[in-house]
Amino acid sequence: MPKRKTTKPRTANKINRHGTVITVSVLAVMVISVLAINKSSPFAYSLYNTDIISYEKGTVSVVLEEYLESDPDLPGQKLGYQKIRVKLKNGPMRGEEIELEHYLYTTHSVLARKGLSVIIKADRPENVEPYYSVYNYDRVPGLSTAIIIFVAFIFLVGGLKGLRSLLGLAVSLFFILVFLLPAICRGWSPVLVTLVTGTVIVSFSLLLLNGFSRKTFTALAATVSGVLLSGFFFALVSALTSLTGYNIDEAEALIMVSRETGLRIGEVLFAGVIIASLGAVMDTTVSLAAAMYEIEEQSPGISPRKMFLSGMTMGRDIIGANCMTLILAFVGSSLAALLSLAAYGTQFNQLISSNYLAVEVAYAFTGGLAVVVAVPITAGLCVIQSKNGKKTIHTRKSRK
């Protein structure tokens, strides 16, 4: 007898197509709404008056004079003076050439050569002769090349799914930069805004990546639960170590902003840990959910208990890898600061009780805890959503 054709794959594809259309439509509405909010209520406060200062692109036309010497402490670095002519590529003097004196020192050694693209800091006060200086190299071409290479590799390895993940990354950056930061600066609750932003980021990232599926909704529920629990843990750590938003390095500047805008500094630290935890937790939940549902497909008769234990076994490996990632990311990003502290002869009690280390360690360990609690939550949700798990729940209800 010929095998009966199944319509399950077609139905799943149809659901995913409709789901993608719904996801993109809702995302478009939310993006337009955010842009409309920013347009109707723009955040225009600035600590300093930057109306007379602009940073413009330019190309070095010629080096007129230079007096350079090698830095005795840093091989390859140059120190000294250059007199250069630069052709501006944008701004009010676009196409014109300016002549300026450029000084090279240890922490700002931009060696000018003909054809070099640079960023010029233009200071143009009223009724005063403009002052120009070399701010830095024009890094846009280099960064653009790096991004193109990154996108190309993601497409070559990940295909369309890789491009979907890039779209999810773009969505995340949009809501953080265009919604989260302006909303906090306006005086909205950082914790509430961050929870909303985090939920939106996780939802759209997972929906764009995997569509409407059990894996998506399991990972979404587990991620939000894990991040919320990590937030409570961070609140506990903050209380035990007397950490507040006023302990961060940028507190002085934020205090000045808060006087004008109502910025809630005390909640900024708490909001930051939620964003910091999102990536690692989402990675954990998606990886574990995908593996557990694959186990169910390959072993249809597996019992809920065995499936849960299998999930916990895989989860322990994921916990080890992701917690190590969080700690190493902390050490890597803080390496220069830690070296500086060591060079100044910082004592152990001084270091361990400093605001800097307390904040960074709290971030790292809170993110680690979020990864840890996400594993049993994900494993439990996968079992509940599995076919055998649903049968078990249905059987228990029938007995009652």
185 and 114 housed in the same domain:
no
For residue 13, the model assigns a pLDDT of 55
Return the pLDDT at 45: 61
- Whether residue 263 is contained in a domain is answered as yes
Q: Which of 192-196, 225-229, 240-244 has the highest mean pLDDT?
A: 192-196
Instruction: Name the more confident of 313 and 13.
Output: 313
Residue 23, pLDDT > 90, answer: no
The yes-or-no verdict on residue 115 having pLDDT over 80 is yes
Question: pLDDT-based confidence at 43, cuts 50/70/90?
Answer: low
Does residue 384 share a domain with residue 351?
yes
| Structural domain contains residue 259 | yes
Q: Tell me whether residue 3 is in a domain.
A: no
Q: Using one digit for the tens of pLDDT, what is the confidence trace for 189-218?
A: 888 888 888 888 888 888 887 777 788 888
The band of 149, judged by pLDDT with boundaries at 50, 70 and 90, is very high
pLDDT tens digit string along 276-294? Answer: 778 888 888 888 888 888 8
- Band the pLDDT of 85: cuts 50, 70, 90: very high
- Residue 32 in any domain: the answer is no
Neighbours of 393 (CB within 10 A): 13
At residue 227, does pLDDT exceed 60? yes
Residue that is last in its domain, among 77, 108, 138: 138
User: How far is 1 from 57, CA to CA, in rounded Å?
Assistant: 74
Backbone angles phi, psi at 244, to 5 degrees: -140, 175
- Average pLDDT in the chain: 80
Higher per-residue confidence, 169 vs 357 = 169
Q: Is the dihedral of CA 78, 79, 85, 91 positive or negative?
A: positive
pLDDT band at 326 (very low <50, low <70, confident <90, very high): confident
Query: Among the listed ranges 98-107, 195-204, 225-234, which one has the minimum average pLDDT value?
Result: 225-234
Q: Which of 138, 171, 205 is the last residue of a domain?
A: 138
Extract the tokens encoding 20: 């993608």
Q: Is residue 1 part of a domain?
A: no
Position 39 scores a pLDDT of: 80
Count Cβ neighbours within 10 Å for each residue of 285-300 and write b for 16 or more, e otherwise. Answer: bbbbbebbbebbeeee
Say yes or no: 59 and 180 in one domain.
no
Higher pLDDT pick, 149 / 390:
149
The pLDDT value given to residue 60: 92
Q: Which residues of 102-112 are buried (b: 16+ CB within 10 A; e: fewer)?
A: bebeeeebbbb
Shared-domain flag, residues 218 and 114: no
The count of other CB atoms within 10 Å of the CB of residue 232 is 11
69-81 per-position pLDDT tens digit: 887 777 778 888 8
Specify whether 131 is located in the same domain as 273. no
Helix (H, G, I), strand (E, B) or coil at 99: strand
CATH of the domain at 221: 1.20.1640
Residue that wins the pLDDT comparison between 218 and 46: 218
CB distance 331 to 338 below 8 Å? yes
Question: By three-state DSSP, how is residue 104 classified?
Answer: strand
Average pLDDT estimate for 20-29: 81
- For position 4, what pLDDT does the model report? 46
In this structure, is residue 26 part of a structural domain? no
Task: Domain of residue 98: give its range.
Answer: 53-138
Q: Evaluate whether residue 38 is within a structural domain.
A: no
With a cut of 60, say whether residue 10 has pLDDT above it. Answer: no
Question: At which residue do the structure tokens 């709404």 appear?
Answer: 33
Based on the domain organization, do 57 and 124 belong to the same domain?
yes
Kindly tell me if the per-residue pLDDT of 6 is higher than 50.
no
Q: Is the pLDDT of residue 1 over 80?
A: no
**Cα gap 260→376, rounded to integer Å:** 45
In the structure encoding, which two tokens stand for residue 275, read together?
Answer: 């964003």
Query: What pLDDT is stored for residue 3 in this prediction?
Result: 47
Q: How confident is the model at residue 139 (pLDDT cuts 50, 70, 90)?
A: very high
Q: What is the CATH number of the domain that holds 69?
A: 2.40.50
Q: Are residues 60 and 196 in the same domain?
A: no
Number of domains in the chain: 2
Name the residue with tokens 């507190």: 251
For the cut 60, the answer to whether the pLDDT of residue 8 exceeds it is no
Q: Residue 37 half-sphere exposure, CB side, CA atoms within 13 Å?
A: 14
Q: How far apart are CA 73 and CA 96, in angstroms?
A: 38
User: Are 319 and 369 contained in the same domain?
Assistant: yes
196 and 111 belong to one structural domain: no
Residues 319 and 372: beta-carbon distance below 8 Å: yes
As a whole-number percent, the residues of the chain with pLDDT over 90 amount to 10
Does residue 35 fall inside a structural domain?
no
pLDDT of 267 higher than 80: no
Q: Which of 88, 105, 138 is the last residue of a domain?
A: 138
Mean pLDDT of the region 330-344: 76
pLDDT score at 248: 67
pLDDT score of 296 more than 80: yes
Together in a domain, 242 and 318: yes
pTM for this prediction: 0.76
Neighbours of 379 (CB within 10 A): 24
Share of the chain above pLDDT 70, in %: 88
Alpha helices (runs of H) in the chain, residue ranges in sequence order: 8-40, 140-174, 181-185, 190-210, 214-241, 251-261, 265-298, 304-333, 335-343, 348-352, 355-385, 387-399
Do 107 and 196 have their domain in common? no
Burial class of residue 24 (count of CB atoms within 10 Å of its CB; 0-12, 13-18, 19+): middle
First to last CA, the chain: 43
Residues 196, 258: one domain? yes
